[in-house]
Every structure is written in C-alpha cells, then in structure tokens.
C-alpha cells in the first residue's frame, strides 16, 4: 500500500498542492477506504484546532463557501464517469467529502489577532484598520481586531465612546455594549454604556440602527436623536437631544443653538449629573448660540460660560444656583 508524507496531506487540506501532488493524493485516495479515513481524521483534527479561533462573521462567510462547495460536489456526483476525485465516487464517500470540505474551510481560517485598549483618568483616541476614529472617555475600554474581516467590522465597548465611522457600504460597522448593539455603515455617534441603569446612543450625523437584547430588529434614529435603554424596564425609547453636547467630552466643546438658559442648564445637568437650579429672576426668553469649553468640573465650565452669558452662580455642597448677573 502506498504511503504519502503527512506534510503532503496538510498541503492538500490547505489547497496548496501542485498539479503533480494533486495526482499523487488522488491516486492514494483511490487505493483504499483506509486512506480516505486517514485523510478525514487529519482534516477533523485540523478543524478542531482552527475552530478555537473562529468568530461569527468568519463562520457565516465560510458556511456560505461550504454550501457552494457542496453544490459543486453534487454536480460532480452526477458526472461520476468524469469525476476528478475518487473520494466522491459513492454516496458514503460524498458524505465524508462534505465534512472534509467543511474542515478544509475552517482549517484555513486566519487567526484573528484581537487588541484591547483602556483609558484611565484621561480620554484617549485611536485609529482602527478601516480608518474609523474612536475616542474613549475616561475609564472606558475597546476590544477590536487588529485587521477587520472581509465582510464585517465588529468591536466591543465598555464605558463610553465617540465613533467617527469610515463609510463602507459592503461592511457594516457594529459596536456591542453591555445592553445595546449599534450597526452603521458610516457615521458619527456617541455610545454611552458606562451607567448601570441605562445605556444610550446619540447620533450626530448619518443613520444608525440600535438593537436591544433578545430582539432581532432594532430602531433607526436620526441626527439629533438619542436611543435610551432602561436596564430596569428593558424598554428602548427615542428622544430628541443635543447630540453634539452629549459627545462634548471628546472634543471639549459644548455647542448651543438658539438655546435659552434653561435649555443650556439642562444640558449641563445631564453632562455633570449635578443638581443645578435657576433663580426666579433669570431671563428665560433670551436665546444664545455658540460654544463653551467643556471642563472636568461644573464650576469651571460655568465660569467660562459666564464670560459670554450674563449669569453668575453659587455652589454649596452638591447644589448650584444660577442667578442673573
């Protein structure tokens, strides 16, 4: 009985054989069922090793290829007299071939090198392999592949991140948080998953679809809207928001457009999660447009705001009161 080197079998599994080597392997398979089984066992071991590093996107792509290969195999079976592989000469051998093709495909799955970046007390920014720019707020982290797959782009966020997604109509960009998942083609949005009681997605431009746990379809939000998920109720609601202000931590700018002092203070309440009150004498009719600098603490931001808007403030303990200047 003919024996062939193990490295030749591996090259055959990886589709790396020369024409002469293909003939050698085919003749070896024709010799006995034991040779077919040996090839199958080698392929199965390779499949088990490769399956440890597969991901969902690759698996879907490879399964499609598998179905295509099986269809080709069925056509070969209909032309048994002209078949090129003795492995497909009988129905039993055809079943082994299908499994073989599956393993062959998984064997060739490239190892996905994952990277992880975390911020501490300062926000950080990074550029992904597809030219998407990501800003991470302090105490946040991102897990992502060093190079994205051919048919998808997927990352995992913990904390808060601002995304400027490079447009790619063939590869959706997906961000998975603890409770929400976002899918886009190319856009700018803020994803806040740092709160224990709620997660939110605020859209600056473009279009995004937001998914919740256990639901196959999501909600599409427009620029200037926020999708807010309540952990307690499990409900996802859509509301209007100053999306640029929601993401002001990443560029240190808080924008206002035709906003009165009450609307401006509401934005500051959300950004700093602080108790801010308005004195009854504050003029609520006048509106303001422009920007102010986002500082780490509320008092510093209010001090800068007071340089352009006629207000003054007093902070005592956790309570801040805004007065007319």
Verify that 68 and 27 share a domain, yes or no: yes
Verify that 102 and 169 share a domain, yes or no: no
Verify that 152 and 99 share a domain, yes or no: no
Across the range 277-291, mean pLDDT stands at: 88
Query: Is the predicted pLDDT of residue 151 greater than 80, yes or no?
Result: yes
Between CA 101 and CA 93 the distance in angstroms is 12
Establish if 1 belongs to a structural domain.
Answer: no
Verify that 56 and 166 share a domain, yes or no: no
Verify that 224 and 285 share a domain, yes or no: no
Beta bridge partners of 197: none
Provide the Cα torsion 28, 34, 37, 39; round to 10°. -30
CATH number of the domain at 272, please. 3.55.50.30
| Helix H or strand E encompassing 126 | strand 124-127
By residue count, the chain amounts to 325
Verify that 95 and 119 share a domain, yes or no: no
- Predicted model pTM: 0.60
Verify that 241 and 181 share a domain, yes or no: yes
pLDDT of residue 60: 52
Collect all residues with Cβ–Cβ distance below 8 Å to 284 and sequence separation of at least 6. 260, 261, 262, 278
Across the range 139-148, mean pLDDT stands at: 94
CA 42 to chain centre: 35
pLDDT tens per residue across span 33-83: 667 666 666 665 555 445 444 445 554 554 454 444 444 444 433 443 344
Query: Is the predicted pLDDT of residue 282 greater than 80, yes or no?
Result: yes
Boundary residue ending a domain (245, 269, 284) = 245
Average pLDDT along the chain: 78
pLDDT of residue 40: 61
Boundary residue ending a domain (197, 216, 245) = 245
| Helix H or strand E encompassing 190 | strand 188-192
Task: Count the neighbouring beta carbons within 10 Å of the beta carbon of residue 298.
Answer: 18
pLDDT tens per residue across span 87-112: 434 444 444 444 454 454 444 445 67
Verify that 17 and 138 share a domain, yes or no: no
Verify that 136 and 241 share a domain, yes or no: yes
CATH number of the domain at 203, please. 2.60.120.1440
Establish if 240 belongs to a structural domain.
Answer: yes
CA 156 to chain centre: 6
pLDDT of residue 39: 64
Distances (CA, A) of 160 to 100, 171, 201, 248: 44, 23, 10, 12
Beta carbons of 208 and 220 less than 8 angstroms apart:
yes
Domain extent, residue 120, equals: 114-245
Establish if 198 belongs to a structural domain.
Answer: yes
Across the range 150-177, mean pLDDT stands at: 93
Query: Is the predicted pLDDT of residue 234 greater than 90, yes or no?
Result: no
Domain count, the chain: 3
């Amino acid at each position: 009985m003919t024996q062939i080197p193990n490295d030749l079998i591996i090259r055959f599994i990886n589709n790396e054989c020369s024409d002469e080597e293909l003939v050698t392997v085919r003749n070896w398979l024709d010799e006995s069922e034991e040779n077919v089984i040996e090839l199958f066992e080698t392929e199965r071991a390779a499949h088990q090793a490769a399956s440890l590093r597969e991901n969902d996107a690759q698996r879907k792509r490879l399964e499609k290829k598998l179905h295509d290969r099986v269809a080709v195999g069925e056509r070969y079976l209909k032309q048994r007299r002209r078949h090129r592989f003795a492995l497909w000469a009988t129905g039993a051998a055809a079943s082994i071939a299908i499994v073989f093709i599956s393993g062959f495909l998984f064997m060739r799955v490239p190892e996905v090198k994952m990277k992880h970046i975390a911020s501490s007390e300062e926000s950080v920014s990074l550029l992904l392999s597809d030219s998407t720019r990501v800003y991470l707020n302090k105490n946040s982290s991102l897990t992502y592949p060093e190079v994205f797959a051919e048919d998808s782009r997927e990352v995992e966020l913990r904390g808060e991140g601002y995304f400027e997604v490079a447009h790619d109509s063939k590869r959706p960009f997906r961000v998975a948080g603890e409770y929400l998942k976002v899918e886009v083609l190319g856009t700018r949005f803020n994803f806040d998953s740092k709160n224990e009681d709620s997660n939110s997605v605020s859209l600056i431009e473009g279009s995004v679809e937001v998914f919740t746990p256990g639901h196959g379809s999501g909600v599409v939000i427009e620029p200037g809207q926020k999708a807010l998920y309540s952990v307690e109720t499990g409900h996802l609601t859509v509301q209007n928001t100053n999306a640029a202000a929601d993401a002001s931590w990443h560029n240190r700018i808080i924008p206002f457009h035709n906003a009165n002092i009450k609307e401006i203070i509401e934005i500051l309440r959300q950004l700093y999660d602080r108790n801010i009150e308005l004195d009854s004498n504050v003029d609520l009719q006048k509106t303001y447009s422009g920007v102010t600098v986002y500082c780490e603490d509320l008092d510093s931001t209010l001090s800068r705001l007071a340089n352009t808007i006629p207000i003054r403030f007093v902070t005592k303990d956790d309570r801040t009161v805004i007065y007319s200047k």
